[in-house]
Amino acid sequence: MEFGLIYELSTPRPFTRETQKAVYENAIAQVVVAEQMGFSSVWCVEHHFLEEYSHSSCPEMFLTAVARETSKIRVGFGIATCVPSFHHPIRWAEKAAFLDILSGGRVEFGTGRSSTWNELGGFDSVVDDTKKTWDEYIRVIPKMWMNERFGYQGQYHTMPERNVLPKPWQKPHPPMWVAVTTNGTELDAADRGMGALILSISDVERNVPRIAAYRERIKHCNPVGAFVNDQIAIANWMYCHPDGALAKQRGEELVSTFGYMAGQTVEVSEAYPASNYTALGLLGTLRADPTAPGDQKPISSGLCFGNPATIIDTCKRWEAAGADQLVFMIQAREHLPQADILESLRLFGREVMPHFSQQRRPRAVNG
Amino acid sequence: MSAIELLYGQRSGDTVGLNATTLDLSSRGEVSLPAVEIHYCLFELPMAHMLPRLPESLHPSIPAILGITVWRCSAGPLGPFSLAWIGLACRTGIKPRHFIHSAFCDNEEVGRWFKSRYGFPCQTALVHSLETYDRIHSRVELEGTPILDLETHRLQPLVGLGAMVKYSPPLNPARLENGVALVQMEATFEFMRVARGVPHAPTYAAAALGDDSLRPVYAVSGTFAVANIGLHPPRFSLSPRLPAEQGGAKKI
């Protein structure tokens, strides 16, 4: 079992330049401490126009800054949006390869397609096509990395033969992932030989069947890249404190803060009915009963809030369920003081991590 | 450690529902409306226009969205009627709702029913909705003057699991025992047919439609659906002053 961090870079109002800078700098400082404590990865989302919830429009820049302050921790796109109005696939191939070189081969390339009207509407995207464009991107990007020259005629982009530069440090290329929020996307990941970055934060038990289904399905995959990345990372929350009750209370505050920020955004399914957005996305999973206005969703038993013993128990349950990594959100809208966050990371590193093997399970080499 | 300070509506709760009707809570049964034609269009509008109109207990949606709904019901226990309402997308806690600022019904008795059961500020008006091969067209005419023309073009059928629309429950000011509260209309939908297209409002008389400062600006989506609707009695009320997450929501 490995442990990582995932950043939304949520930012409190008012959006002053000082506040914005503090959010970025605090996050970088947290990653530096996390690396010292043995965390193995840091992921950064790509979001646009999501006020307070996520001011992380340029994850490659954050990850580059992190990479230059660290030496071992892997840097993951969580995710790179594969929608034409956001990015051309060539640009993702270039940016990921560039970062892979600057980081000495530490890139994890997560992919996805966005689930909010804020973003898809803001970029005037063709909402109905996002699954299709994602499928085209994930098949051509590895070829841009591996082939000296590459050209293709796709449904969404066409390019004459060009040498896409630079090529990544990792050979044959960085591991590829897909963000999983809705049920079934883990099977999309498995079919394509990609890692599943499961973002629908929920109980351990609810994820057991989807992890098992992923493991079974990926045995027969047709990988989009040169190798199969049969890894499952689960997004989670973490706040570790010797006083378990206090940790739980603070954890609930983080989740609640996150929920209210997320709740104000407009999911695609709320604004633009489409066959490729029928399930609730990440934000929808935060809404317990759609008809009751005031109730709070109970905190999931799979979240890592508590004293070290409690968190060890929770992480063991995730490990038994088949998760390879837990990637933690540790802050929301700067709700907790930076010193407390850093101390939580240190306590987790000192007292929780030694109970888990940090040996990475070897990835399957080919399909 | 900071408290949760999020974006709220800027309208004082004291100014909400001054002319609200008293809710009739005597009728607690479910009402089933068969094969209702639903024309539902969403538009973005400037946030600066929305926030002053939204009560202080509600969060806005981001971006700001104006929703226009037209129901055409040909049969059922209420008799035939057409009903239109306009509202602003908002949140009670983290849940999507539409805060309604105007409603029109072509059947005076049915309009009174929606007013007394759910607080809709119904005015009697001519409300038409018509599906043709090239568009859905809905119109509201008040005293002989068209105040709303709403069209959805380029309709594409939504099929399979996608044959559904997630309507945000409308929220109306209404008078209860303890004063004015916001009451939501809860409904279930059994969809028979759904299509999505591009909405357009060639006539939008903002003042006559309830608020001169609110106008549709940027088209989001227009849908047309035929659905069996189950209307449930109101279950919750929300203070126009105190947010749901601070205890402002109560069971009726």
CATH code, domain with A302: 3.20.20.30
In a domain, A366, yes or no: no
pLDDT value at A363 more than 70: no
pLDDT band at residue A293 using 50, 70 and 90 as cut-offs: low
Residue A58 token pair = 């340029």
Give the type of residue at A315. C
Task: Report pLDDT for B222.
Answer: 98
pLDDT tens-place string over residues A2-44: 999 999 999 999 999 999 999 999 999 999 999 999 999 999 9
Residues of A in contact with B196 (CB under 8 A): 272-274
Closest residue to A266, CB basis, from B61, B162, B169:
B61
**Backbone phi and psi for residue A84, each to the nearest 5 degrees, phi listed first:** -55, -40
In a domain, A230, yes or no: yes
Task: Report pLDDT for A183.
Answer: 86
Query: B215 vs A328, B144, B147, B199, B201, CA distance in Å?
Result: 42, 21, 12, 14, 10
In a domain, A243, yes or no: yes
Closest residue to A274, CB basis, from B93, B162, B244:
B162
pLDDT tens-place string over residues A248-289: 999 999 998 998 888 889 999 999 999 999 866 555 555 444
Residues of B in contact with A275 (CB under 8 A): 158-162
Residue A359 token pair = 């040996």
In a domain, A99, yes or no: yes
Residues of A in contact with B236 (CB under 8 A): 291-294
Higher pLDDT, A363 or B37: B37
Task: Report pLDDT for A278.
Answer: 83
Mutation test of the interface with chain B: which of A127, A270, A297, A340, choosing the one with the most B Cβ atoms within 10 A? A270
Q: Do A293 and B247 touch (CB under 8 A)?
A: no
Residues of B in contact with A11 (CB under 8 A): none
A275: closest CA of chain B, how far (Å): 4
ipTM over 0.90: yes
Place of tokens 């004291």: B14
Which residues in chain A (310-349) have CB-CB distances under 8 A to chain B? 333-337
Query: Given 3.40.109.10, 3.30.70.260, 2.40.400.10, 2.50.20.10, which CATH number is that of B27-251?
Result: 2.40.400.10
Q: Does A273 touch chain B (CB under 8 A)?
A: yes
CA distance A234 to B231: 40
Which residues in chain B (7-66) have CB-CB distances under 8 A to chain A? 7, 42, 44, 59-63, 65
- Percent of chain A with pLDDT strictly greater than 90: 85
Mutation test of the interface with chain A: which of B94, B166, B189, B237, choosing the one with the most A Cβ atoms within 10 A? B94
CA distance B144 to B132: 23
Q: Do A294 and B4 touch (CB under 8 A)?
A: no
What residues does each domain of chain B span?
27-251
CA distance B249 to A40: 44
Nearest to B40, CA basis, from A220, A270, A66? A270
- One digit per residue, pLDDT tens: chain B, 252 residues? 444 567 999 999 999 999 999 999 987 899 999 999 999 999 999 999 999 999 999 999 999 999 999 999 999 999 999 999 999 999 998 899 999 999 999 999 999 999 999 999 999 999 999 999 999 999 999 999 999 999 999 999 999 989 999 999 999 999 999 899 999 999 999 999 999 999 999 999 999 999 999 999 999 999 999 999 999 999 999 999 999 989 999 998
In a domain, A363, yes or no: no
SS3 (DSSP) at B10: coil
B176 DSSP β-pair partners: B179
CB-based contact B136:B224 (threshold 8 Å): yes
Total Cβ atoms within 10 A of residue B244: 26
pLDDT tens-place string over residues A40-63: 999 999 999 999 999 999 999 999
SS3 (DSSP) at B17: coil
CB-based contact B176:B239 (threshold 8 Å): no
By CA distance, what is B235's nearest residue in A?
A292
Which residues in chain B (128-167) have CB-CB distances under 8 A to chain A? 158-162, 164-166
B95 DSSP β-pair partners: B92
pLDDT tens-place string over residues A161-211: 999 999 999 999 999 999 998 889 999 999 999 999 998 777 899 899 999
In a domain, A360, yes or no: no
In a domain, A365, yes or no: no
Q: Do A264 and B59 touch (CB under 8 A)?
A: yes
Task: Report pLDDT for A182.
Answer: 86
- In chain A, the number of structural domains is 1
Higher pLDDT, A77 or A366: A77
In a domain, A367, yes or no: no
